[in-house]
Amino acid sequence: MKAERVELEAAYILHARPYRETSQLLEVIGRQHGRQGLIARGARGPKARWRALLQPFRPLHLSWSGRGTLYTLRNAEPAAPSAPLQGRRLLSAYYLNELLLRFTTRGEPRPELFAHYTAALAGLADADNAEVPLRRFELALLTESGYGLDADRDALHGAPIDPEQRYAYQPERGAMPVERDGDEQVVLTGASLQAIAAGSFHGADDLRLAKRLLRQLLDHHLGHRPLQTRRVFAEMRPPS
């Protein structure tokens, strides 16, 4: 297998864990090369190389080389300051990272997803309502993974979506016309479905509905492995 060498790839660190005595094993996402596994040798300890630089949510330029699916980090440079994230917005950014780790595989180029992630981090830092960049990223992640919302035609008759009709959106089928709400299914009008699919949210009610619908779709494709960041969010919620 021919050795690969990548120079100054725009990238973010998604996850880091100790590796052997002084190194780290990094999961990163790069603009052109997608998710990659990198060994950062000598990256641990108070005098370690790159110790202050290899942090999540900081735009970086990374260089690596090697063979297979695990490469050696050769150089790391700052590309821009870190996004100023604190509290729930910081945890929301970790939620984005966890979604990327679950929905991507190493070595698959995902330049559009990288752009959506960059925009989501900027939105978490600057937007008045952090729910908007979160919902837009979830929508983009589903779309880029091949699970996007079909807001054009219903799944029962193939008829155009009627803005006034009520639908239950089923992950494996699409929008099914319904007459009443169900206990477990998310029911919404055709107009709301089309607005969510377009990433257009006009108030708190729209965002709550989008959150329920997108969570239903994400959970379906995640299977039976719950997200750890959701557990932390739940623990932070004040008792009722």
In this predicted structure, what is the pLDDT of residue 121? 96
Q: What is the DSSP letter of 200?
A: -
Least Cα distance to 210 among 139, 117, 150, 144 occurs for 139
Q: How many CB atoms lie within 10 A of CB 103?
A: 18
Assign 36 to helix, strand or coil. Answer: strand
* CATH architecture of the domain formed by 87-236: Up-down Bundle (1.20)
Q: What is the 3-state secondary structure (H, E, C) of 216-229?
A: HHHHHHHCCCCCHH
Give the pLDDT of the chain (240 residues) as one tens digit per residue: 677 899 999 999 999 999 888 889 999 999 999 999 999 998 887 777 777 899 999 999 999 999 888 999 999 999 998 888 998 899 999 999 999 999 999 999 999 999 999 999 999 998 788 899 999 999 999 999 999 999 999 999 999 999 999 999 998 899 999 876 665 678 999 999 999 999 998 888 889 999 999 999 999 998 877 788 877 766 666 555
Indicate yes or no: pTM above 0.85.
Answer: yes
Domains 4-78 and 87-236 share a fold: no
In this predicted structure, what is the pLDDT of residue 204? 86
* CATH architecture of the domain formed by 4-78: Beta Barrel (2.40)
In this predicted structure, what is the pLDDT of residue 154? 92
Domain boundaries, the chain: 4-78, 87-236
* Torsion sign, CA atoms 81, 87, 92, 97: positive
CA–CA gap between residue 105 and residue 29 (Å, rounded)? 10
Partner residues linked to 19 by β-bridges: 23
Token code pair at residue 206: 């729209």
Residues 9/30, Cβ–Cβ less than 8 Å: yes
In this predicted structure, what is the pLDDT of residue 166? 94
Can you spell out the DSSP letters for 54-113? --TT--EEEEEEESTTEEEEEEEEE-SPPP---HHHHHHHHHHHHHHHHH--TT---HHH
Q: Number of helices (H) and strands (E) in the chain: give both, helices first.
A: 6, 8
